Amino acid sequence: MSIEHFGMKIAVYPGSFDPVTNGHLDIIHRSAKVFDKLVVAVLNNTSKNPLFTLEERTELLRKVTSDLPNVEIDSFRDLLINYMKQKNAHLIVRGLRAVSDFEYELQMASMNRKLDEHFETFFMTSTPQYSYLSSSIVKEIARFHGPVTGLVPEQVEKALLLKYAPR
């Protein structure tokens, strides 16, 4: 099935976004130019212990994408394929920072196609300036009160400072 058969090109960019980084934001901005509608879907991953609640992550994403009219922020707690069907979306956006990301992402894309062949995954490579950046690295720096300016949007930097403020 070609992309023309999909009608309005609705893509979903799923992730835990704990927290959203400038690398994530770069993928969001670039994807918003490619697709008619981009749903940034915050995953409630029960196997992880996130720093920010699902609601906090969703709200931070809303704040940092408020300038993008075709971007919707949502959350989900189900299989991605089930969520995609609810959103009438057939396109999945995944960011790749390094070759090491590709093996896992290829496995996930293949499994999604196995579950339902009507879904396509679009891999977007990271802009080189963000290729080293991950939420885990940002949290580690912030936990030890290191500077995260330039790694995350300003709203996220403030939220990290509050989370790791001495008590």
Q: What is the pLDDT of residues 60-110, one digit of tens each?
A: 999 999 999 999 999 999 899 999 999 999 999 999 987 778 888 888 999
Q: Residues annotated in the binding site, as ranges? A: 16-17, 24, 48, 80, 94-97, 105, 130-136
Q: What is the pLDDT of residues 41-64, one digit of tens each?
A: 999 877 778 999 999 999 999 999
pLDDT value for 7: 65
What is the C-alpha to C-alpha distance for residues 43 and 30, in angstroms, rounded to an integer? 21
> Does 6 have pLDDT greater than 60?
no
> Does 36 have pLDDT greater than 60?
yes
Q: Residues annotated in the binding site for substrate, as ranges? A: 16, 48, 80, 94
Alpha helices by DSSP H, the chain: 22-34, 54-64, 80-86, 99-115, 135-143, 154-163
Return the sign of the alpha-carbon dihedral for residues 129, 108, 18, 91.
positive
Architecture of domain 7-163: 3-Layer(aba) Sandwich (3.40)
pLDDT value for 31: 97
pLDDT value for 99: 76
pLDDT value for 88: 93
With bands split at pLDDT 50, 70 and 90, how would you rate the model's confidence at 148?
very high
Q: Residues annotated in the binding site for ATP, as ranges? A: 16-17, 24, 95-97, 105, 130-136
What is the C-alpha to C-alpha distance for residues 58 and 14, in angstroms, rounded to an integer? 12
Average pLDDT over residues 106-125: 91
- The closest of 5, 24, 8, 26 to 16, measured between CA atoms, is 24
User: How does the average pLDDT of the chain come out, rounded?
Assistant: 91
> Does 4 have pLDDT greater than 70?
no
Strands 91-96, 120-125: parallel, antiparallel or unpaired by DSSP? Answer: parallel
Percent of the chain scoring above 70 in pLDDT: 96
Predicted structure pTM score? 0.91
Which residues are designated catalytic? 24, 48, 97, 135
With bands split at pLDDT 50, 70 and 90, how would you rate the model's confidence at 3?
very low
What is the C-alpha to C-alpha distance for residues 15 and 42, in angstroms, rounded to an integer? 5
